[in-house]
Amino acid sequence: MEYCLEVIKENDPSGFLQISDALIRRVHLTEDQWGKGTLSPRMTTDFDLNLDSAPLLQSIHQLDFMQMKLPAPPILQLEECCTHNNSATLSWKQPPLSTVQVEGYILELDDGNGGQFREVYVGKETMCTVDGLHFNSTYSARVKAFNKTGVSPYSKTLVLQTSEDSEPEEQALTFPVPLERLPLRRSSPFSSTLNLQNSFPGRSYFELRSSSHQMSLHSSLQSLNSAVDIKKMVAVAWFSFDPSTAHSDIIFSNDNLTVTCNSYDDRVVLGKTGFSKGLHYWELSIDRYDNHPDPAFGVARMDVLKDVMLGKDDKAWAMYVDNNRSWFMHNNSHTNRTEGGITKGATVGILLDLTRRTLTFSINEDQQGPVAFENMEGIFFPAVSLNRNVQVTLHTGLPVPDFYNARGSLQ
């Protein structure tokens, strides 16, 4: 082939004529070699293939086929469902005779005003506590189970009444909740933050509805304890400070009712209970007051800044006060300087009226300045900011002070 290529490259036609005969003989010789099978394969095209299917057949025979079915509707356990302040604990289980596998549950709650249901928990737990509900409101709850096949029908609808008032633990009417179980606690119906906390006893008022789908069952508080006169319970809320949301520099004592700080900078601590409806009043007594600091008292959102004075951001409404005077502050705006300060032993009162949407402060039972803030809407948590020079104790479950009624604010 190389020889032919070299000949073809020759520019002189006469040179090609000189070797043309030899080239033709060479081509014929090569053609004869191909035709006589010189390049035929040396191995046969036939081969043997043995396929061992025994292990596969054995595996197929060992398979266990079953028909997947939808789960049965869960059963709400009324003896473990309760309300406490503005929280509700719900517990459920699968029907005893159900053999269908369940992968998880979906808990739904309405908005407390008969609105649409929305999911507040999805997971494998069978107990959930929902915080941040409205006081003195009626909520409907239901739960359904799910697996790979789909979602079960809803359980019967449970109607819970959150507390208009919350009494101390020694007065609480309780439904027994096993302490060894850890209910799943959700911070609010619209929050994705979940954490485990010990279950708590609480006073419950609920009914189980089912017409074509609902039935009616009221829990009777009087039958649980006929000696307790429910009508005498005043509309007040009991709560303490919340270590889980406070700044790490805050120091707690006295069952989380007394707080101070180990820093010279202001640090924020919130109450455990959020308010969105009604009239609420609480006080803080000044246990220690050194070097004339400026503690701040008021209300805040859950996501308020915890490392600055209360009222520095737009998530808090506060009154900060020294030994001579006070100011109102929201979003770092200082207003209404008022004479009169605090000392050791003084009492600061906070009155949150969500009916009139106002926030008012007092010092030693006298109103401090005008109405501090108006147009208050949403969920507010009691809040304090202080440093290491101050120690305060929280007092809750208090009636509305006389100065508020005397000025006709409720009329």
Q: What is the model's pLDDT at position 27?
A: 79
Q: Let me know whether 399 and 263 are in one domain.
A: yes
Residue 143 sits in a domain of what CATH number?
A: 2.60.40.10
Q: Work out how many domains the chain is built from and give that number.
A: 2
Q: What is the model's pLDDT at position 202?
A: 35
Task: Per-residue pLDDT tens, the chain, 411 aa: give them.
Answer: 676 677 677 777 776 677 777 778 887 887 777 766 555 666 677 777 888 889 999 988 888 877 778 899 999 998 899 888 778 899 999 998 888 889 999 999 998 888 899 999 999 999 998 887 877 788 999 999 999 889 999 999 999 888 764 444 333 333 333 333 334 444 443 333 333 333 333 333 344 444 333 333 333 333 333 333 333 334 567 889 999 999 999 999 999 999 999 999 999 999 988 888 888 999 999 999 998 899 999 999 999 999 999 999 999 999 999 999 999 999 999 999 999 999 999 999 999 998 899 999 999 999 999 999 999 998 899 999 999 999 999 999 888 888 786 555 444
Neighbours of 196 (CB within 10 A): 10
Q: Let me know whether 247 and 390 are in one domain.
A: yes
Q: Is 226 inside a domain boundary? A: no
Q: Let me know whether 247 and 133 are in one domain.
A: no
Say if residues 87 and 137 touch (Cβ distance below 8 Å): no
Q: Let me know whether 364 and 259 are in one domain.
A: yes
Q: Let me know whether 254 and 387 are in one domain.
A: yes
Q: Let me know whether 155 and 266 are in one domain.
A: no
Q: Take residue 300 and report the two structure tokens written for it.
A: 């805040």
- Alpha carbon distance 343, 323 (integer Å): 6
Q: Let me know whether 287 and 384 are in one domain.
A: yes
Please compute, for residue 2, the number of CA atoms within 13 A of its CA located in the half-sphere on the CB side: 0
Q: Give the CA distances from residue 54 to residues 51, 63, 121, in Å, rounded to whole numbers and listed in that order.
A: 9, 15, 49
Q: Let me know whether 269 and 367 are in one domain.
A: yes
Q: Is 120 inside a domain boundary? A: yes
Q: What is the model's pLDDT at position 189?
A: 39
Q: Is 42 inside a domain boundary? A: no
Q: Is 390 inside a domain boundary? A: yes
Residue 272 sits in a domain of what CATH number?
A: 2.60.120.920
Q: Is 27 inside a domain boundary? A: no
Q: Let me know whether 149 and 281 are in one domain.
A: no
Q: What is the model's pLDDT at position 141?
A: 93
Which is nearest to 382 in space by CA: 266, 230, 280, 249?
280
Q: Give the CA distances from residue 71 to residues 65, 87, 104, 123, 145, in Å, rounded to whole numbers and listed in that order.
A: 18, 29, 10, 15, 6
Range of the domain at 82: 75-161
Q: Let me know whether 385 and 253 are in one domain.
A: yes
Q: Let me know whether 249 and 154 are in one domain.
A: no
| Gyration radius of the chain over CA positions | 40
Domain boundary among 143, 161, 179: 161
Q: Give the CA distances from residue 388 to residues 239, 308, 341, in Å, rounded to whole numbers and listed in that order.
A: 23, 14, 19
Q: What is the model's pLDDT at position 171?
A: 35
Domain boundary among 161, 189, 216: 161
Q: Is 376 inside a domain boundary? A: yes
Q: Give the CA distances from residue 10 to residues 2, 14, 23, 113, 260, in Å, rounded to whole numbers and listed in that order.
A: 13, 9, 14, 102, 107
Q: Is 43 inside a domain boundary? A: no
Q: Is 181 inside a domain boundary? A: no
Q: What is the model's pLDDT at position 37?
A: 58
- Alpha carbon distance 20, 26 (integer Å): 10
The single residue listed with the structure tokens 């933050």 is: 193
Q: Take residue 123 and report the two structure tokens written for it.
A: 């997971």
Domain boundary among 161, 177, 193: 161
Q: What is the model's pLDDT at position 194?
A: 33
Say if residues 158 and 142 touch (Cβ distance below 8 Å): yes
The length of the chain, given as a count of residues:
411
Q: Let me know whether 252 and 384 are in one domain.
A: yes
